[in-house]
Amino acid sequence: MHPFRSHTCADLNLSHAGHSVRLSGWVHRVRDHGGILFIDLRDHYGVTQVLADPDSPAFADVEKVRSEWCIRIDGEVKAREAHLVNPKLPTGAIEVFIRELEVLGAAGELPLLVFGDQEYPEETRLRYRYLDLRREKLQRNMALRSDVVASMRRRMWDRGFREYQTPIITASSPEGARDFLVPSRLHPGRFYALPQAPQQFKQLIMVAGFDRYFQIAPCFRDEDPRSDRAPTDFYQLDMEMSFVGQQDVFDMIGPVIRGVFEEFGNGRRVDADWPQIPFRDAMLKYGTDKPDLRNPIEMQDVSGHFRGGGFAIFARLLEQDGTEIRAIPAPGGGSRKFCDRMNAFAQKEGLPGMGYIFWREGADGADRAEAAGPLAKNIGPERTEAIRRQLGLGAGDAAFFLGGRAADFGAVAGRARDVIGAELGLTDTDRFAFAWIVDFPMYEADAETGRVDFSHNPFSMPQGGLEALSGDPLKVLGHQYDLCCNGFEILSGAIRNHRPEIMFRAFGLAGYDADEVRGRFGGLLGAMYHGAPPHGGCAAGIDRIVMLLADEANIREVIMFPMNQRAEDAMMGAPSVPANEQLRELGLRVIEP
């Protein structure tokens, strides 16, 4: 017999009754029922009930074991009596009578329990992650992650792609976040960088003629943590194709992503129709470039109904350039109680509040619903009726209003839309709704300094090519695109710039002179002078996709060993203080803050 097990803790059933078996695993819990000791023995595959009565030669050993001890048992499989069968367990029709027990690894006092659903502080969970990972939910999440990655690989190979590996130690590159720098021992005073993405290398792979590349790529970014973003490193399905346009990329990667969600979505509907929404429209209708389309609410510009009207705050606001009044329809939200609750939400978000109108059944029926609320009294029945008709609302509905410059209130409006959809039951939580966001601006201006910089991937091809870069940079659109799902960005990509004259001009508008472009991107730039093909691609965030499939709200629930919210590894003690010998060898000195 194998020294540790003849079966896993998920294998045994009635067909094994009477067999001698060997199992190894962890003591999930111990129960004493009238002098008979029961152990739920757990391994990665499942749970088997094993037991010993006082007549068992192993009874004294069984009395000593505690939760999370790692043990091996030998015993005989027996069928449970009919009334004792546990239908919730695959092994629930049998149990194993212990003849012999060996302790493989004893456990001390546990800082957190594996059995049960107790909640523990995140710091405790991450410090003792090896225990946390034994819990059923995390075992399930990590298996899901592994299966998703395997499925992605198979699907990419099936579509004619090959996997190639790109360097982990490289040069610094502007990808929209801070680099992690690595000091060079052989070249004192100079630094490598961990790649924020394999961006330049995958473009060089296209120039080298490989046509279709993909990689399950680690990426490293020194970012502020969020619930849907890891602060140090993450993995993405990275791909690139030659001789393609934007729609070609959509047609290739769309079935891969859809197939993964259909395979692992646990029966939830996966939308087949993925609309392509221009960035400008997304910001107007949803207040975000990653809208949750499970929520049918679309915001609208209603400035015309307030211009010169009786509500002085909005009327004066609209006299300023670049301002607007936006309405958030709320079908079914036509009660003062709900309106007051949403007004309180806006105040918690840092705004003075939200104006609102709600409609009640009027004397003339639903078509002449009666408007109520402070705003309605100020602007009068004609304007409120015009607003109602524009928004397609009726009795029992409401609308909320925010005004000013969209950049100042758009994000709050987007969050309010999400809250309204959820509270009124409008958001269909049993589906995955996708949308391509397209036509991103190439550049943005710093609100304080006015300095123009890239707003997205700097290596993208501007729509209109070189000619488009001769005017106002803030009006230039890129061949850039994101894929969002249920309110999360899960993929980002672009058709790449493959012409050196466009690269010089594009970086010049962002403040990079020609010498700096040559110095920082010499490898990619040089390749463009040697027959670079038109190419494009994208990268899909594996961590975020698994988070959605696992129905988790925090990305750390689907990462094996995540950092905490301060970008620290509480278990391994990173970041750590280097030894003086290490610093001397690298020619570095640490200046304390």
Domain boundary among 427, 443, 466: 427
Domain boundary among 401, 427, 453: 427
pLDDT at 361: 85
Q: Please indicate, yes or no, whether residues 446 and 531 belong to a single structural domain of this protein.
A: yes
Helices and strands: H and E segment counts in the chain: 18, 24
| pLDDT band, very low/low/confident/very high, at 176 (cuts 50, 70, 90) | low
Q: What is the pLDDT of residues 207-218, one digit of tens each?
A: 999 999 999 999
Q: What is the pLDDT of residues 483-540, one digit of tens each?
A: 999 999 999 999 999 999 999 999 999 989 999 999 888 899 999 999 999 999 999 9
- Concatenate the DSSP letters of all residues of 338-375 into one string: HHHHHHHHHHHTTSS--EEEEEEEETTEEEEEEEESHH
Residue 356 domain-assigned (yes or no): yes
pLDDT at 116: 86
| pLDDT band, very low/low/confident/very high, at 98 (cuts 50, 70, 90) | very high
Instruction: Look at phi and psi of residue 357 and say left if phi exceeds 0, alpha if psi is from -120 to 50, else beta.
Output: beta
Q: Please indicate, yes or no, whether residues 304 and 382 belong to a single structural domain of this protein.
A: yes
| pLDDT band, very low/low/confident/very high, at 363 (cuts 50, 70, 90) | low
Domain limits for position 40: 14-105
Please say whether the beta carbons of 224 and 537 come within 8 A.
no
Residue 581 domain-assigned (yes or no): no
Q: Please indicate, yes or no, whether residues 364 and 462 belong to a single structural domain of this protein.
A: no
pLDDT at 310: 79
Q: Please indicate, yes or no, whether residues 546 and 473 belong to a single structural domain of this protein.
A: yes
Residue 344 in this model has a pLDDT that exceeds 70: yes
Residue 123 domain-assigned (yes or no): no
Please say whether the beta carbons of 544 and 555 come within 8 A.
yes
Instruction: Pull the structure tokens for residue 486.
Output: 């249920």
Q: What is the pLDDT of residues 380-415, one digit of tens each?
A: 999 999 999 999 999 999 999 999 999 889 999 999
Domain boundary among 405, 427, 449: 427
Residue 547 domain-assigned (yes or no): yes
Instruction: Give every strand in the sheet of 365-372, ordered side by side.
Output: 300-301, 324-330, 398-404, 355-362, 365-372
Q: What is the pLDDT of residues 555-592, one digit of tens each?
A: 999 999 999 988 999 999 999 999 999 999 999 999 88
Please say whether the beta carbons of 561 and 129 come within 8 A.
yes
Residue 122 domain-assigned (yes or no): no
Highest mean pLDDT among 11-20, 166-175, 344-353: 11-20
How many residues in total does the chain contain? 593
Residue 150's CB is within 10 A of a number of other CB atoms, namely 11
Please say whether the beta carbons of 20 and 75 come within 8 A.
yes
| Domain count of the fold of the chain | 3
Q: Please indicate, yes or no, whether residues 266 and 188 belong to a single structural domain of this protein.
A: yes
Closest CA to 69 of 38, 106, 94: 106
Q: Please indicate, yes or no, whether residues 528 and 478 belong to a single structural domain of this protein.
A: yes
Q: Please indicate, yes or no, whether residues 258 and 329 belong to a single structural domain of this protein.
A: no
Residue 583 domain-assigned (yes or no): no
Residue 124 domain-assigned (yes or no): no
Residues contacting residue 551 through CB under 8 Å, at least 6 positions apart: 266
Average of pLDDT values for 334-349? 91
Instruction: Pull the structure tokens for residue 288.
Output: 């975000």
Q: Please indicate, yes or no, whether residues 510 and 392 belong to a single structural domain of this protein.
A: no
